[in-house]
Amino acid sequence: MKIYMNDGLVDQSEAKVSVFDHGLLYGDGIFEGIRLYNGCVFKLEEHLERLEYSAKAIMLEMPWSRKEISNAVRETCSANGLKDGYIRLVVTRGVGSLGLSIKNCDRPQLIIIADKIQLYPEEFYENGLKIITVPTRRCNPAALPPTVKSLNYLNNILAKIEAQHLGYHEAIMLNDQGYVAECTGDNVFIIHKGELITPSASAGALKGITRDTALEIAEELGIPWRESNMTRYDVWVAEELFLTGTAAEIIPIVEVDARPIGDGKPGPITAKFLESFRRRVVSEGTML
Ligand code: PMP
């Protein structure tokens, strides 16, 4: 496999980072997870914009233009002969000294990995997924903004450990006020009385690219939507619930905290969202 490192492709065996890279030492860096469908990169500009915003938020100056990164993404996919897959774009703070200061890290590192994707089993989409709420709270946006897609994912990993320990694949994380923020790697949507509702970024949600696509689909389907604070009660009494994410796409949820959602089967509105999403991914991407 060929990996893109800084200014060109190298063999996987040569794709290495320094032990002094602050991405490794402190989780100081940012990333994006992007999908390649049928030779087209889905929502590439949106992912690159979010990467730029993440960089700006953590004061990481990327020496590459958007065009250069976008060309590097295409080059990596082509070099690996991929038509469908998952692209991991990572920018680390770079090599520095054994201290927190970013002052000695003068060269950020760009890494692009394009690989086959481990898809969720089709059964999740057909029968829906059961999830729970976990005790670990989502980071307060005033501490580490969840809108920054940073290399520091321990908050989410702790929640994932709790979920998996109890036999679940995904879990709802609440913010420090007790409102629903998001899942460990996905955004949350409920449908209640015909309306689509999702927590806002200020409640601790990542501004997911799939989340934005779901909102576009709501417009297309004529379903009113709004961002709102949401309690666990709101989730339990929703008629339908689904999660969105680059890897997960749109997944119906049929049970939360042992309460069935709606009639305990994937709902008809969620099915429409998934159908529209799957149509979009093959018609809207940027060609390699
Ligand atoms: N929330 C978190 C914490 C995530 O890591 C992700 C991405 N896996 C999402 C939401 C979904 O975002 P996107 O649709 O851009 O993949």
Q: Ligand 1 centre and the CA of 209: distance in Å?
A: 8
What sections of the chain are H helices per DSSP? 22-26, 44-57, 66-79, 122-127, 154-165, 209-221, 232-236, 268-283
Ligand 1 site-directed mutation target among 187, 217, 249, most atoms within 8 Å of CB: 187
Domain regions of the chain by residue span? 2-115, 122-282
Q: Could you read off the pLDDT tens digit of each residue along the chain, which spans 288 residues? A: 999 999 999 999 999 999 999 999 999 999 999 999 999 999 999 999 999 999 999 999 999 999 999 999 999 999 999 999 999 999 999 999 999 999 999 899 999 999 998 888 999 999 999 999 999 999 999 999 999 999 999 999 999 999 999 999 999 999 999 999 999 999 999 999 999 999 999 999 999 999 999 999 999 999 999 999 999 999 999 999 999 999 999 999 999 999 999 999 999 999 999 999 999 998 888 888
Per-residue confidence (pLDDT) for residue 141, from 0 to 100? 93
**Would you call 149 a catalytic residue per the annotation?**
yes
In the three-class reduction of DSSP (H, G, I as helix; E, B as strand; rest coil), residue 261 is classed as coil
Distance, in Å, from the CA atom of 149 to the CA atom of 28, rounded to the nearest integer, reads 11
What's the order of all strands across the beta sheet hosting 2-5? 8-11, 2-5, 109-115, 85-92, 29-37, 40-41, 286-287
Q: Which of 149, 160, 207, 272 is catalytic?
A: 149
* Residues contacting 227, CB < 8 A, separation 6+: 197, 198, 199, 200
Per-residue confidence (pLDDT) for residue 150, from 0 to 100? 98
Per-residue confidence (pLDDT) for residue 43, from 0 to 100? 97
Query: Which atom of ligand 1 sits closest to the CA of residue 205?
Result: 1
Q: Ligand 1 centre and the CA of 55: distance in Å?
A: 17
Class of domain 122-282: alpha beta
Among the four given CATH numbers 3.30.420.40, 3.40.50.300, 3.30.470.10, 3.30.750.200, the one describing domain 2-115: 3.30.470.10
| Structural tokens at position 225 | 């939507």
Which segments of 80-238 are extended strands (E)?
Answer: 85-92, 109-115, 129-133, 171-174, 180-183, 187-192, 195-198, 225-227
Per-residue confidence (pLDDT) for residue 285, from 0 to 100? 82
Per-residue confidence (pLDDT) for residue 110, from 0 to 100? 98
Per-residue confidence (pLDDT) for residue 283, from 0 to 100? 87
Q: Atom 7, ligand 1: which residue's CA is nearest?
A: 185
Is the CB of residue 245 below 6 angstroms from any atom belonging to ligand 1? yes
